[in-house]
Structures are given as structure tokens and as C-alpha cells.
């Protein structure tokens, strides 16, 4: 299959491209598109064959449910059976935006989309391109991250091309995404609501609005005995090819420890990558050093995380040592993804 790749700068002047992409979706095809979190791989969520194509293109296990993206609140009751009052309050504040909520599904949502579950995950993205495309494609677009299963999520169109060129109908290139980690997932079918995946909408922000929420233990710890409630969270995601270790402790000691380990590996003939920050990058003496962002603005760290993991794949490093980051706010999402990428390999200093 030849994948059409089109740049989109502006939803007004590029109207015809969005219409073309919408037609592909309505016919059951696959279109990758930017959202504010990561690029999504879209298909008509109400068409079971289209949903099945997503699993094939990504190499994704079919028990891993898809998020249905909508463009307006009026579309929610068509796919969600019960909409609790708290969900309306949360939607009012955080939709459109980087938040997914889980509801009991209605009959029109096929089990191919929900991975066999009776619940459906729903998100209304804030990206204009995404919302226009959802409308042009019929209003209900299933979209997992547009990467091959197991690779870091794509934050720019080139990442999508690397993984899916020749396997999907179209890629809309809207530049680099804003946030860089996937949406927060909140399960509204349980009381209290439960956070299944941390993201840019934090637990604190949700609790301020609706009071205490529960947290799926499997989303924060490696050794939880229970399987995660979001089926996708059980797979080893976001994995770079190199052996990635997170070094945790006071920053000064971490820098020294990473310098020591890097020197040792390099002396053994290995290629080493280091993930530091704007503050620490000049303190590393050897290896390929990349700054992930600044500790003064953690959003910069979230936005570069996946791109850096992909860059180290291209540079074919054998070992990656990463600094560890603060866990509050969006730091929870950063550490959740980094720990998964590292297979929970943490060196405590
Ligand atoms: O930011 C995002 O959410 C991006 C963009 C494209 O919108 N999408 C995304 O989709 O991250 P994906 O498929 O990579 O991750 C969806 C996660 C998986 O962990 C899946 O198991 C979980 O959502 N999920 C989907 N439906 C669910 C359900 N009914 N119950 C529990 N977890 C569900
Ligand atoms: Mg994903």
C-alpha cells in the first residue's frame, strides 16, 4: 500500500486535505493524525473491519482496547450508556483536552473496538486538526498511538512514517505535538473514579474538581500483583532497543554515578547514551549526551521523552543511563513512561 503523506498547517486553508482524509476514514481506511498528546492512528470506531485493521497495522494484541475520539459533547451519549454527574463536571473542565474517560458502552460500539469489553474509553482532543478530522470521518474515530506496538509513541509525523509507512492509507503531518505523553485515563464506571494511566491532567487537578479518586496500583508500581485495569498497560511499552537504566538519588550523586558507569561501559567497547537535562548536560564527560528538557519546566521533559528514545535507537547505543525526575504533577506521567521503557530497571544511589 502507498501511504499518502500530507502536511497540514491550517484547518481553513487545508480543508480539502481534511476532507480527503475524512473520506478515507468513512470508507474504512486508516489515517494517522496529530493530537495534542501523541499522533493517533485513526479508523472508524463503529466499523469493526476498520478497527481490526488498526490491530494488524500496529501488530497490537486484539485484547487491548482502543480509545474512541469524539469532537463534541453531543456525541457522547451515542456511545456511553451511563454518564455520571462527575463525568460531566470533568468534561466541562478538561474536554477538549488530554483526558480519556471510561464508560459503559452502548450497542453501537463494536467489541472489536473495545477489545471485547463492555466499557468504552472516550476522549475529545483539543487539537483542531484532530477534531476537524473526527467530524469529517463520521464523528467516532478509534485512535491508539500511531506507533508499532512496543515502540515509543510518535510525537512527530516522521516517527509515524518510520513505523507505519506502507501499512496505512494516509499520514497528516501537523508538526511536533504539544504535550508528548498520552492522555490521562480515568475510569468513571467505578466509585470513586479510578486513575488508570497518569497524563497531563493530573490526579491533583481531578481531585480538586470531584474529590478523592483511586489510583490503579499497577500504574505506579512494577511489582503489583494484580494486572493493570487498562489492558494496554500490561505490555512492555515504549521500549528502546538499548538497555535503559534509570539512576535515582540526589542529582549531584546521580551525575557522578552515571559518569562512572558510562566510563566503564565505554572502556568495554560499548556505545553509551545519557539522558540529562539543560542543567546537567555539560557535566557528563563521555558518551552521547542528550538534554531531555529543563527541570524548571517539567512539561519540556514530557515533550522530548519519546523522541529521545527513538534517537538513541537510530544511534544504536547499547546502554542508556537516564536521570530520574520528580514525581509530582506531570512528573507522574513522565516517570510512568520512563519506568516502562526501562523495564523498571532503577539504580538507587
Ligand atoms: O493520548 C492518547 O490517549 C492517545 C492519542 C492518540 O489520543 N491514544 C492512546 O491510545 O494513547 P493507546 O491505544 O495507545 O492507549 C489506550 C490505552 C490502553 O492502555 C488501553 O488498554 C486503555 O487505553 N483502554 C482503552 N479502552 C479501555 C477500557 N474500556 N477499559 C480500560 N482501559 C482501556
Ligand atoms: Mg500506545
pLDDT tens per residue across span 186-230:
999 999 999 999 999 999 999 999 999 999 887 766 555 566 777
Q: Between vectors from CA 4 to CA 153 and to CA 68, what angle results, nearest 5°?
A: 45
pLDDT at 264: 98
How much distance in Å is there from the Cα of 333 to the middle of ligand 2?
Answer: 14
Cβ neighbours of residue 302 closer than 8 Å, sequence gap 6 or more: 179, 180, 181, 200, 293, 330, 333, 334
Q: Exposed, middle or buried: residue 147 (CB in 10 Å: 0-12, 13-18, 19+)?
A: buried
- Which has the closest alpha carbon to 344: 255, 248, 246? 246
Mutate to test the pocket of ligand 1, among 35, 54, 65 (most ligand atoms within 8 A of CB): 65
Nearest CA residue ID for atom 18, ligand 1:
232
Residues of the chain with pLDDT > 70, as a percent, come to: 96
Q: Between vectors from CA 326 to CA 245 and to CA 67, what angle results, nearest 5°?
A: 80
pTM score of the predicted model: 0.96
Ligand nearest to the CA of 302: 1
pLDDT tens per residue across span 281-330:
999 999 999 999 999 999 999 999 999 999 999 999 999 999 999 988 89
pLDDT tens per residue across span 244-256:
999 999 999 999 9
**Cell numbers for 95:** 474536554
pLDDT at 225: 58
Collapsing DSSP states into helix, strand and coil, what is residue 185?
strand
Q: Phi and psi (nearest 5°) for 252?
A: -60, -45
Mean pLDDT of the chain: 95
- Give the binding-site residues of ligand 1, using a 6 Å CB cut-off: 35, 37-38, 40, 64-67, 100, 102, 114, 117, 119-121, 123, 143-145, 182-183, 185, 196, 229-233
pLDDT at 63: 86
How much distance in Å is there from the Cα of 182 to the middle of ligand 1?
Answer: 8
Residues of the chain with pLDDT > 90, as a percent, come to: 88
Tell me the Ramachandran region of residue 344: left when phi exceeds 0, alpha when psi lies from -120 to 50, beta otherwise. left
Per the model's pLDDT, the better-predicted residue between 68 and 239 turns out to be: 68
How much distance in Å is there from the Cα of 212 to the middle of ligand 1?
Answer: 23
- Which has the closest alpha carbon to 262: 279, 238, 242, 278? 242
Q: How far is CA 183 from CA 65, 126, 337, in A?
A: 15, 11, 12
Mutate to test the pocket of ligand 1, among 59, 104, 145 (most ligand atoms within 8 A of CB): 145
- Which has the closest alpha carbon to 235: 112, 118, 38, 64? 64
Average pLDDT over residues 331-337: 95
pLDDT at 235: 61
Dihedral (Cα; 267, 270, 275, 276), 10-degree rounding: 20
Q: How far is CA 157 from CA 39, 144, 145, 316, in A?
A: 7, 15, 12, 21
DSSP secondary structure, 320-335, as one string:
EEEE----STTHHHHH
How much distance in Å is there from the Cα of 65 to the middle of ligand 2?
Answer: 10
Is the pLDDT at 61 greater than 90? The verdict is no
pLDDT tens per residue across span 96-147:
999 999 999 999 999 999 999 999 999 999 999 999 999 999 999 999 999 9
pLDDT at 227: 66
Residue 145 CA: which ligand 1 atom is closest? 14
Nearest CA residue ID for atom 7, ligand 1:
40
pLDDT category at 87 given cuts 50, 70, 90 is: very high
Amino acid at each position: 500500500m502507498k501511504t499518502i503523506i500530507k502536511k497540514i498547517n491550517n484547518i481553513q486553508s487545508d480543508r480539502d486535505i481534511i476532507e480527503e482524509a475524512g473520506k478515507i476514514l468513512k470508507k474504512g481506511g486508516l489515517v494517522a493524525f496529530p493530537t495534542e498528546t501523541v499522533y493517533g492512528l485513526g479508523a472508524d470506531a463503529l466499523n469493526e473491519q476498520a478497527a481490526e485493521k488498526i490491530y494488524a497495522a500496529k501488530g497490537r494484541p486484539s485484547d487491548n482496547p482502543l480509545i474512541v475520539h469524539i469532537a463534541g459533547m453531543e456525541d457522547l451519549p451515542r456511545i456511553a450508556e451511563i454518564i455520571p454527574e462527575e463525568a460531566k463536571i470533568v468534561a466541562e473542565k478538561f474536554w477538549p483536552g488530554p483526558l480519556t474517560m471510561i464508560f459503559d458502552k452502548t450497542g453501537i460500539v463494536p467489541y472489536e473496538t473495545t477489545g471485547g469489553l463492555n466499557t468504552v474509553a472516550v476522549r475529545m482532543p483539543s487539537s483542531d486538526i484532530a477534531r476537524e478530522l473526527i467530524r469529517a470521518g463520521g464523528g467516532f474515530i478509534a485512535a491508539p498511538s500511531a506507533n508499532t506496538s512496543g515502540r515509543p509513541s510518535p510525537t512527530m509525523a516522521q516517527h509515524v512514517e518510520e513505523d507505519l509507512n506502507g501499512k496505512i492509507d494516509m499520514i497528516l503531518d501537523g508538526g511536533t505535538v504539544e504535550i508528548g505523553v498520552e492522555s490521562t485515563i480515568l475510569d468513571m464506571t467505578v466509585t470513586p473514579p479510578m486513575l488508570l494511566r497518569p497524563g497531563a491532567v493530573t490526579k491533583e487537578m481531578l481531585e480538586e474538581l470531584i474529590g478523592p479518586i483511586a489510583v490503579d496500583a499497577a500504574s505506579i508500581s512494577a511489582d503489583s500483583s494484580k494486572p493493570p485495569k487498562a489492558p494496554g498497560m500490561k505490555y512492555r511499552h515504549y521500549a528502546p532497543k538499548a538497555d535503559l537504566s534509570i539512576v535515582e538519588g540526589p542529582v549531584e550523586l546521580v551525575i557522578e554515578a552515571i559518569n562512572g558507569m558510562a566510563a566503564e561501559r565505554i572502556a568495554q567497547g560499548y556505545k553509551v547514551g545519557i539522558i540529562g537535562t539543560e542543567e546537567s548536560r555539560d557535566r557528563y564527560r563521555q558518551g552521547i549526551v542528550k538534554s531531555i528538557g529543563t527541570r524548571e519546566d517539567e512539561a519540556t521533559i514530557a515533550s522530548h521523552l519519546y523522541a529521545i528514545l527513538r534517537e538513541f535507537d537510530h544511534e544504536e547505543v547499547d546502554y542508556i543511563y537516564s536521570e530520574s525526575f520528580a514525581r509530582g504533577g506531570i512528573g507522574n506521567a513522565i516517570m510512568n513512561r520512563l519506568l516502562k521503557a526501562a523495564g523498571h530497571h532503577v539504580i538507587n544511589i
